[in-house]
Amino acid sequence: MTEYRAPLDDMRFVLNELADLDAVAQLPGFEEVFPDLVDAILEQAGKLGAEVLAPLNRSGDIEGCQLENGVVRTPKGFPEAYVQFIEGGWNGVPFDPDYGGQGLPYLVTTAVYEIWHAANMALALCPTLTQAAVELLSVHGSDGLKAVFMEKLVSGVWTGTMNLTESQAGSDLSQIRTQAVREGERYLITGQKIFISHGEHDFTENIVHMVLARTPDGADGIKGLSLFVVPKFLVKDDGALGDRNDLRCVSLEHKMGINASPTCVMSFGDDGGAEAYLVGEENRGIEYMFTMMNNARLAIGLEGVGVAERAYQHARDYAAERKQGQALDGTDESVAIDRHPDVRRMLLSMRAQTEATRALAYYVAAALDAAKRHENEGIRKESQALVDLLVPVVKAWSTDTGIEVANTGIQVLGGAGYIEESGAPQFLRDIRVAAIYEGTNGIQAMDLIGRKVAREDGVTAQALIADMRALDGPLAEAQGEDTGDDTGAIRESLTEAVDALAEATDWIVATHPENPEAVAAGAVPYLRLLGLVAGGWLMAKAALAAGRLSAAGGDDGGNDGRDQEFLAKKIVSARFYADHLLIQAPALSRTVTRGWNAVGRFS
């Protein structure tokens, strides 16, 4: 399998030119976030990803996890790799230094986590959930819970999980039956949860479960759910581990992919009840859990970005070496298949889509930093609204794109791509689940059109569209200076795409109050439309930045460390995106507004 190399040049480009790392570094608390520091962090993360995590990806997939007498054994090398991960301080990158964290922006964290997911998605799932648990306790945990759990979770010495799903409930959390009965200052939990990633493993001595359960007097439906902290081992007053709690893994799921990540069926209270501690107030569990779920959804979107990058590198390197067929220019001898136009098209589609999803994920991460830290309350609120709008897009569009890119990678390899030994099938098998868990992509789309667009009359979506339209002036100016037609073609496609997005958004706002079913029928196409256009907007900005940097570099290539070849490739990616992908926007808009006609008559 091709060795993974973190795409540091593109990551730096997106951080600086599209996500505005300089502006993030001006936020309170980030004054020490200098470019040299960020470069050093990315270099070290890339080294760990390439040298420690990536080599285990294939072997972990083959070996898988084993459950023996209630103990889960992860594949060879995984526990040791996790130790290296936490000893490097990587688990606490975005968190409060008071609890041992690094206190770095989510923007930097996002770039780092892309590397983990690209290198080894199965292993990276564990710290992803731990970080979500830390975020939850940071916002909603009591001082007592923070004192017991935060430092160990931030460091990664203990790991966290999220326990929502039950066999009869699935995505409908209103059907949860797990019970929590109060006994003094604690609660006793009884019930069973399924699909619990890293619910049991051999990485750490303790696992801290976040569990949704219903108290006896809790109302029916989601409003009666509360959230509890349920540690695998109870914690004594002095912080030492005490008795084993009444919970256990009763089976492992046999999955299509991410075989090195144990997906557990967890049973609570087989011997009377697992001791648990209430987070916040009773009956507010869903509200609290959404803090954790939104964090996780952003991270899942990054899985799409990371696996897409890994699949692209794999296909690109294979195509450069595999000789087959003659070139269309009349060359008699066999040529590498990346000389053939259709293979070039496939590779460019993989590269351009990966770059677009990366750009959107980093852009949203920067908005999250502003929402949490900006001194201006109005900007904090606007930034949070933007994050809320785009979280389902990052999660769903990025993972759908990751699936498409991994699938295309198999096609580039041809017959070899269908053989497991090539490594290409694993990328598709692994990323396929990302469109399903943490809320299926259809649920993300319903959330987007209902709670994020229709409920606020499209205010945030229209503000984003206005930002997109504002790029027309700079594109027009660059078009006048450009000797080629790249900028003009990008501008034309972007204008049509933004108009299509605006039309679909206006239709959703007007139609939803009277006919929510019609809007729901077009929810998935609308989410794809928004992701496609937002990605195209950022790709257009990337082309402008690349052109500016290239011109500033002159003949000596002195463009802030970026060589002319890299910048030229950025423009090519943007042009391909405009010609092959962004032009799909008007058709998607028509699907959004007309799709109900046949769907409503399905029988």
Task: Report helix, strand or coil for 156.
Answer: coil
Identify the pLDDT of residue 218: 86
Give yes or no for a contact between 173 and 222, defined as CB atoms under 8 angstroms apart: yes
Contacts of 241 (CB under 8 A, 6+ apart): 205, 206, 233, 234, 235
Give yes or no for a contact between 20 and 365, defined as CB atoms under 8 angstroms apart: no
Task: Work out the mean pLDDT of the chain and round it to a whole number.
Answer: 94
Which residues are part of the catalytic machinery?
Answer: 438
Q: Where are the beta strands (DSSP E) in 152-218?
A: 158-163, 179-183, 186-197, 206-214
Q: What does pTM read for this prediction?
A: 0.96
Identify the pLDDT of residue 329: 80
Which band of pLDDT confidence, cut at 50, 70 and 90, is reported for residue 480? confident
Q: Examine the pLDDT at 556 and tell me if it is beyond 70.
A: no
Give yes or no for a contact between 591 and 525, defined as CB atoms under 8 angstroms apart: yes
Tens digit of each residue's pLDDT (9 = 90 or more) over 158-172: 999 999 999 998 888
Share of the chain above pLDDT 70, in %: 98
Q: Worst-scoring range by mean pLDDT, 200-204, 271-275, 532-536, 549-553?
A: 549-553
Identify the pLDDT of residue 557: 43
Tens digit of each residue's pLDDT (9 = 90 or more) over 345-363: 999 999 999 999 999 999 9
Tens digit of each residue's pLDDT (9 = 90 or more) over 248-295: 999 999 999 999 999 999 999 999 999 999 999 999 999 998 877 777
Give yes or no for a contact between 367 and 379, defined as CB atoms under 8 angstroms apart: no
Q: Which of 244, 215, 236, 245 is nearest to 227 (CA)?
A: 215
Helix (H) or strand (E) holding 325: strand 323-326
